[in-house]
Structure 1
Amino acid sequence: MEIREFTDADWPQVWPIVHEVVQARDTYTYDPDLSADDGREIWIESPPGLTVVAVDGDHVLGTAKMGPNRPGPGSHVSTASFMVAADARGRGIGSALCAYALDWARSRGYAGMQFNAVTESNTGAVKVYERLGFRIVGTVPGAFEHPALGRVGLHVMYCPF
């Protein structure tokens, strides 16, 4: 597996991953009726941010986006988001994408990385993030409407550099 910068030619493989994850309604707060055009606008970062893909040959297995968490006085803290194709989960791709994002942010002088809305029911992702140095700094109770579990909390997680 290789992680490399996203190119326009990747979108036909990235969009189904984004669409599938958003349609599941169990991890992301994106509108489940998101169109491909809107999805591209949300997912593809402009500088100083970056969007990457994890590939095996020409096959996209997952994707990540990263950049400043907030503009202006908050721009010294980074953020990132990750999506992995359903048939590629459980192979360490999400962990590799997160490690890549952390290295990217450190190399650009960010003070840390903040995740604003990690669904508390996404226990696999929470474990990965904690293993990579994040900690839960707060939870907004009932802030996410999970399709099977009802209202669950959204964690704010932070990894200082």
Structure 2
Amino acid sequence: MAALTLLPYAESDLPDFAPVFRAIVDAGETYAYPTGLSDTAIQALWWEAPPGHTVIARDAGGRFLGSAKMGANRPSRGAHIGTASFMVADAARGLGVGRALLDYVIDWHRRAGFAGIQFNAVVETNTAAVRLWQSAGFAIIGTVPGAFDSRAHGRVGLHVMFLKLT
């Protein structure tokens, strides 16, 4: 994999991130976000305010590669379990960007004292992501049948995946 740098998300990253967000959402295979969102609405959905955290990945030339957002899965009595979401630019897929973002997310959650990480809605036909999460130790703890309306496959399941950190 080529060298990449992970940086905290800044508002100046939005013009690079918004087209990636739109392409992924419009493809209809991995996220249930609405299409046609403004840049402002995209930022409001993706940027995690502290104590959450959002990072972007760029290559040595500054090219935008992807992003991850992370934080508590639930407030209050559920705040000891984290969650995260990932988006990788189409041109950067297969280059290890997802793995670098995942490694960062796991480390961030450990350093922040989370007991585990729960992914609430991993589309079962997103096999590359499922394999990546499993390779890092995440287990599928349940699947909600037909919970996601895939553009290519129709109604497919959403996996709930979990990684124990403590």
Short-chain TM bin? over 0.9
Structure-1 separation of matches of 2:42 and 2:154: 25
State the SS of the aligned residue for 2:114: coil
Letter in 2 for 1:131: S
Partner of 2:98: 94
- Is 2:81–2:115's contact at 8 Å kept on the other side of the alignment? yes
What do the CA deviations read for 1:20-60 (whole angstroms, capped 9, x no partner)? Answer: 11111100011123222111100001001011001113211
Partner of 2:26: 23
Partner of 2:164: 160
Partner of 2:87: 83
- Is 1:25–1:32's contact at 8 Å kept on the other side of the alignment? no
How many residues matched?
Answer: 161
Structure-2 separation of matches of 1:3 and 1:126: 22
State the SS of the aligned residue for 1:158: strand
Structure-1 separation of matches of 2:13 and 2:141: 35
Q: Kindly, what percent of the aligned residue pairs are identical? A: 50
Structure-2 separation of matches of 1:146 and 1:104: 31
Partner of 1:49: 52
Structure 1 portions without partners, runs of 5+: none
Partner of 1:104: 108
State the SS of the aligned residue for 1:91: coil
Of 50, 57, 65, 2:69 maps to: 65
Structure 2 portions without partners, runs of 5+: none
Structure-2 separation of matches of 1:160 and 1:70: 16
Q: Which runs of 4+ in 1 moved over 4 A?
A: none
What do the CA deviations read for 1:84-131 (whole angstroms, capped 9, x no partner)? Answer: 000110101011101100000000000010000000000000000000
Of 24, 36, 39, 1:36 maps to: 39
Structure-2 separation of matches of 1:48 and 1:24: 31
- Is 1:23–1:32's contact at 8 Å kept on the other side of the alignment? yes
Structure-1 separation of matches of 2:77 and 2:14: 32
